[in-house]
């Protein structure tokens, strides 16, 4: 496969300054090998009082790139794609919520059912309202934390992590000041932060990818010290999302950890076809043939 990675995916500091929210990034996204990385705190994934590397819910980071006409997303986390069994959840299982892309420039609450609000349902074993895996448009979000014995809101999570000596972050979004601006009442109002698709229209399919496939495409979370137990992701057609700046967020169904990415998708442009140039010997042959023809015409005119 020919790799044509878009180099115009912007880092978080550029993107956030261009959004109407005026939010400053907590940890500006980093470009490496053509991927845009957002790295989360390594000690804010809460699991029954445990945080950090021993927590099943520790999110380490998320990354994105454009390759040819595809968007690739990679996730590094202690939570596997299949999630974990839990007697505390109403369905005895806790997994991933859906990944949301917001191209509107407004906060996540104002963007519900907006044509610039997209969702990606990538985990089959979840409480998502999306009927099948894929990319969805005009989505509305819902909060499923209560059914998963999770945190009431982001402030509840932040305070609980702090009490255990951890430092809560949301990747490119500062937990201590900017999360309330972006998530609105989802920051400190019970069960309002959208972490799962409620409704939407399916626009296209996704292809699930394991760590080996993503590594072959240049993904390297280890470069940033991210050491989650699981690396996986997915790809989908580039034309399923618009061009421009976006905010993307992903949380566990229980809200025990999450990550926010600020990025930019550039227009996909096919490489122009290479014009064939005659070989020197072929060009010389054409000149000889042309010269002979001219000489013959002159002889006929004499």
Beta bridge partners of 84: 94
Q: What is the mean pLDDT of residues 82-96?
A: 97
pLDDT reading at 22 higher than 60: no
Would you place residue 295 in the very low, low, confident or very high pLDDT band (cuts 50, 70, 90)?
very low
Based on the structure, what is the number of domains in the chain?
1
Would you place residue 177 in the very low, low, confident or very high pLDDT band (cuts 50, 70, 90)?
low
Looking at the domain assignment, is residue 4 inside a domain?
no
State which residues form the domain around 273: 12-301
Beta bridge partners of 74: 63, 233
Q: How far is 138 from 125, CA to CA, in rounded Å?
A: 23
Looking at the domain assignment, is residue 295 inside a domain?
yes
The answer to whether residues 38 and 22 touch, using CB atoms and an 8 Å cutoff, is: no
pLDDT of residue 270: 65
The answer to whether residues 38 and 259 touch, using CB atoms and an 8 Å cutoff, is: yes
Closest CA to 122 of 136, 140, 134: 134
Name the token pair of 156: 């509840």
Looking at the domain assignment, is residue 49 inside a domain?
yes
pLDDT of residue 95: 98
Q: In whole numbers, what is the pLDDT of the chain averaged over residues? A: 85
Looking at the domain assignment, is residue 5 inside a domain?
no
Q: What is the mean pLDDT of residues 81-107?
A: 97
The answer to whether residues 187 and 168 touch, using CB atoms and an 8 Å cutoff, is: no
| Sign, Cα dihedral of 236, 103, 239, 71 | negative
pLDDT reading at 191 higher than 80: yes
Q: What is the mean pLDDT of residues 159-174?
A: 94
Q: What is the mean pLDDT of residues 279-298?
A: 45
pLDDT reading at 23 higher than 50: no
pLDDT of residue 275: 59
Looking at the domain assignment, is residue 286 inside a domain?
yes
pLDDT in tens, 218-266: 999 999 999 999 999 999 999 999 999 999 999 999 999 999 999 999 9
Looking at the domain assignment, is residue 6 inside a domain?
no
Question: Which helix (H) or strand (E) segment is 284 a member of?
Answer: helix 280-301
Would you place residue 289 in the very low, low, confident or very high pLDDT band (cuts 50, 70, 90)?
very low
Would you place residue 207 in the very low, low, confident or very high pLDDT band (cuts 50, 70, 90)?
very high
Q: How far is 22 from 302, CA to CA, in rounded Å?
A: 83
Looking at the domain assignment, is residue 81 inside a domain?
yes
Interior CA angle at 244 toward 243 and 247, to 5°?
Answer: 115
pLDDT in tens, 103-157: 999 999 888 888 999 999 999 999 999 999 999 999 999 999 999 999 999 999 9
Looking at the domain assignment, is residue 218 inside a domain?
yes
pLDDT of residue 89: 97
- pTM metric for this prediction: 0.84
Name the token pair of 54: 């021993």
Q: What is the mean pLDDT of residues 157-168?
A: 96
């Amino acid at each position: 496969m020919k790799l044509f990675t878009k180099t115009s995916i912007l880092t978080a500091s550029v993107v956030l300054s261009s959004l109407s929210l005026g939010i400053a990034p907590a940890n500006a996204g980093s470009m490496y090998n053509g991927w845009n990385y957002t790295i989360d705190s390594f000690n804010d994934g809460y699991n029954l009082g445990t945080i950090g590397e021993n927590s099943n819910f520790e999110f380490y980071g998320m990354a994105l790139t454009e390759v040819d006409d595809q968007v690739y997303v990679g996730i590094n986390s202690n939570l596997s794609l299949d999630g974990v069994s839990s007697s505390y959840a109403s369905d005895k299982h806790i997994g991933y919520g859906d990944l949301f892309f917001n191209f509107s420039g407004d906060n996540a609450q104002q963007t519900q059912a907006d044509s610039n609000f997209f969702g990606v349902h990538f985990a089959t074993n979840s409480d998502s309202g999306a009927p099948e895996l894929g990319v969805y448009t005009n989505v509305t979000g819902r909060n499923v934390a209560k059914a998963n014995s999770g945190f009431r809101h982001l402030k509840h999570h932040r305070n609980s992590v702090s009490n255990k000596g951890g430092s809560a972050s949301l990747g490119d979004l500062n937990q201590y000041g900017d999360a309330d601006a972006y998530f609105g009442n989802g920051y400190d109002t019970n069960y309002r932060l959208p972490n799962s698709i409620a409704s939407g229209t399916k626009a296209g399919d996704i292809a699930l990818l394991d760590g080996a496939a993503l590594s072959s495409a240049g993904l390297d979370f280890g470069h940033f010290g991210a050491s989650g137990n699981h690396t996986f992701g997915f790809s989908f057609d580039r034309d399923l999302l618009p061009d421009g700046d976006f905010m993307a967020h992903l949380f566990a169904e229980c809200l025990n950890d999450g990550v926010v990415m600020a990025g930019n998708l550039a227009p996909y442009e096919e490489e122009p076809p290479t014009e064939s140039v005659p070989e020197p010997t072929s060009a010389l042959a054409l000149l000889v043939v042309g010269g002979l023809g001219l000489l013959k015409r002159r002889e006929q005119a004499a």
